[in-house]
A = this chain, B = another copy of it.
Amino acid sequence: MSLLVVGSVAFDTVKTPFGEADEVLGGSATYFSTAASYFTGVNLVAVIGEDFPEKHITFLKSRKIDVTGLQRSPGKTFRWKGEYGYDLNEARTLETHLNVFETFKPQVPEQYRNADVVFLANIDPVLQREVLHQIEKPKLVACDTMNFWIEGKKDELIKTLREVDILLINEAEARQLAGVPNLVKAAKIIQGMGPETLIIKQGEYGSLMFHSDGVFSAPAFPLESVFDPTGAGDSFAGGFMGYLANLNNFSESTLRQAMIFGSVMASFNVEDFSLNRMKSLDYKEIQARFREFKRLTHFEDIKEHGGMV
């Protein structure tokens, strides 16, 4: 089943307590597409500048990502510079240069317009809707957003959410969007804005899915070395949406498995800078880690009066 993503392609300069990376390949759509490409074909809509080297395009193509929708515009590619302390949950942004991303008008190529599954990565909610309205009849629409849009374009974001089936955001953003500190209450409020399903990302603590059929808690994988958290959320979304698109099944039970595949892809991604770890992945490793998640969370059920005095 066809999966379309719109988002950013960027160069990241990242410093963590464990090392530094200078102008490496990044961006929400890049992480998303690469993670999703292990499960399904991906159609990419994004913008790059004149300085974007061919080798990165070759890499994306090698992952069977369709780059027809990757527009090249005059100017420089989007750049982000940030650093992390030992608390790897939060990046401190040092510099943001939108460059060609500032005037990005996403054009969905003709051959992408019958997309079944759509992911609107974290961009202006007005652009998210513009992309969505170029798709003929999507079966499943998910989106991401961030505090910047919740603060600056809340009305536009709420309009976008009316047309979205699944929202993926982090817990601080969920609290901010709903205006309440309790996550269960926040989820109900956000579901009332449109999305039947809300996925709340909690960084190293995993993620929660609120769905009309119930709540699901997915842990993060306990890793001995987290090298660079950049792109974890987008890799999660890529694994999650890629698995759903591949199965063409959006039942609650499949959404739960997809959450685990998202967690698997995020857990690999943070093991190295940029997309380095995802570049060297194979399916067997992904399946093996899925099963490790199973072992990580499994416990036996109790009998009728088990364990009580």
Tell whether A309 is near chain B: CB-to-CB under 8 Å. yes
A236 adjacent to chain B (CB < 8 Å): no
Per-position binary interface string of chain A over residues 240-267, scored 1 when its CB falls under 8 Å from any chain B CB and 0 otherwise = 0001001100000100110111000000
Give every chain B residue within 8 A of A302 (Cβ-Cβ).
257, 287, 290-291
Is A55 at the interface (CB under 8 A from chain B)? no
- For the complex formed by this chain, how many copies does it contain in all? 2
Q: How many residues of A contact B (CB 8 A)?
A: 57
With contacts A219-B219, A222-B208, A222-B215 known, is A243 near B296, CB below 8 A?
A: no
Within 8 A of B (CB), among A81-120: 86-87
Q: Which of A247, A253, A309 has the most CB of B within 10 A?
A: A309
11 pairs of residues in contact across A and B, judged by CB atoms under 8 Å: A37-B309, A182-B223, A184-B223, A208-B222, A217-B219, A246-B307, A253-B300, A257-B302, A257-B307, A260-B299, A294-B299
Contacts A215-B296, A260-B299, A261-B307 given; 13 further ones with Cβ under 8 A?
A17-B181, A86-B181, A182-B223, A182-B224, A202-B205, A206-B217, A206-B219, A216-B299, A217-B222, A217-B296, A217-B297, A256-B298, A256-B299
